[in-house]
Amino acid sequence: MSTGVVEGVVATRFAKAVSIGLVAIVGVWHLGLDTLLVLRGWPMYEPQVAAAGAWLALVVIQTAGSVLLLRSALSAHTARMLAGAALISGVVATATYPPGAAIGDVSWAWNTVGWFGVLLLLQRPLWELITLLGANTAVTAGFLAADGALDHVTVSRLLAATYTTAGIQLTFAYLVRQLNDGAREATEAAAAHAEHLARATADETVHTERRRRYEHLRGRVEPLLRGLTERRLDPGDTVVRQRAAVEAARLRRLFAETDDTPHPLLHELRACADIAERRGVHVTLLSYGDLPELPTSVRRELAEGALLVLAAAATEARVTLLATPEEVAVSVVADAPPETVVEPPGLLAVSFLSDQEGDQLWWETRYPVRPAR
């Protein structure tokens, strides 16, 4: 799973948990507390049908908004429409209160509309919630002024109520946004750390494997060079020359493994062909099909047979790389001597075929890209 996908999953789960918690808070607030307040002050509302209608309208708005929010389907347009409908329902409910009771024991809509705003505008810019809370407070202040109850005592109560309602709701929305940002930053940091560890592990693995390969080749090349230096080996001997050609090709292929190329296997085969051409062998390299991405160990075994035959070629060789949806095959035909020893591949799922006709040696190595049906 990619880093971006992991970050998205974590952020989505955190947002879902916050949404569930907020839906529960608003549900308990309206269906629980508001219901008790409406029932307790029921004889004082006028007209009562308007009070009941406002309460029911808010139930519908709450249900629709909660379902859309939990399904991540609450668009900006729908959120604003529902928030506006909640504000209108609050106006209707406040109009049914007794004169001067917009903040009192029978008032319930002001606080509820604010929490509905938090619910519906949670994923919107903070200024939209501030606008709704300001309009909601203005509605309450307007009714108090219309009732002639906006004296200095009531103003003090209104300011205190604003602080304990709109202030708490705005703070809650702000903290939720901060938590969302913190969760996203923590997720990004964790993903970056995990990616760094994965890259470091991969680099260490490649480095260890490369050192192992260097040590392996050193164990083969060093005796050859020491023998030539101490004149225990004759550079004119065919076997010695073939050994030198094989180890030179292996070193060249090892260096080619670290090159950044679009087709590593073809690049490594070219490196092997280059060593043979330096000895005067005419090499033809052909490639057909779209090469899949292959592990280094598989490429190494696919190229090993061609490397050995090219090292034994006298004057000419033809290397063919064929890629199909089912397999990748490397074949080589060269005028190699009959006594050429071709080492079989390793333990991977690489198969090989060989044939000798006159002075022409044919060798083919195959690797199944996907199992045959």
Q: Of 59-68, 112-121, 129-138, 141-150, where does mean pLDDT reach its minimum? A: 141-150
Q: Of 134-138, 280-284, 296-300, where does mean pLDDT reach its minimum? A: 296-300
Distances (CA, A) of 69 to 7, 110, 344: 20, 22, 63
Contact between 55 and 38 under an 8 Å Cβ cutoff? The reply is: yes
Q: Smallest Cα–Cα separation from 287: which of 317, 253, 331? A: 331
- Residue predicted with more confidence, 15 or 25: 25
The Cα–Cα gap between 323 and 329 comes to 6
Q: pLDDT tens across 30-44, in order?
A: 988 889 999 999 999
The pLDDT value given to residue 148: 83
CB neighbourhood size of 272 (10 A): 29
The pLDDT value given to residue 371: 57
Contact between 296 and 257 under an 8 Å Cβ cutoff? The reply is: yes
In the chain, where the domains are located: 3-189, 238-368
Residue indicated by tokens 């070629």: 313
CB neighbourhood size of 214 (10 A): 13
Q: pLDDT tens across 152-190, in order?
A: 888 888 888 888 888 888 988 888 888 777 777 777 777
Rg (CA), the chain: 40
Which fold would CATH assign to domain 238-368?
Heat Shock Protein 90 (3.30.565)
Q: Is the pLDDT of residue 347 over 60?
A: no
Q: Smallest Cα–Cα separation from 256: which of 283, 274, 281? A: 274
The Cα–Cα gap between 208 and 200 comes to 12
- Band (pLDDT 50/70/90 cuts) for residue 241 is confident
The pLDDT value given to residue 220: 66
Could you tell me what percent of the chain has a pLDDT over 90? 26
- Band (pLDDT 50/70/90 cuts) for residue 8 is low
- Band (pLDDT 50/70/90 cuts) for residue 114 is very high
Contact between 333 and 364 under an 8 Å Cβ cutoff? The reply is: no
The pLDDT value given to residue 81: 94
- pLDDT (mean) for 103-113: 88
The Cα–Cα gap between 86 and 82 comes to 6
Q: Is the pLDDT of residue 60 over 90?
A: yes
Residue indicated by tokens 């007209």: 47
Q: Is the pLDDT of residue 360 over 60?
A: yes
Q: Is the pLDDT of residue 320 over 90?
A: yes
Taking the model in full, what pTM does it have?
0.53
Could you tell me what percent of the chain has a pLDDT over 70? 87
The Cα–Cα gap between 276 and 333 comes to 13
- Tell me what the pLDDT averaged over the chain comes to: 83
- Band (pLDDT 50/70/90 cuts) for residue 86 is very high
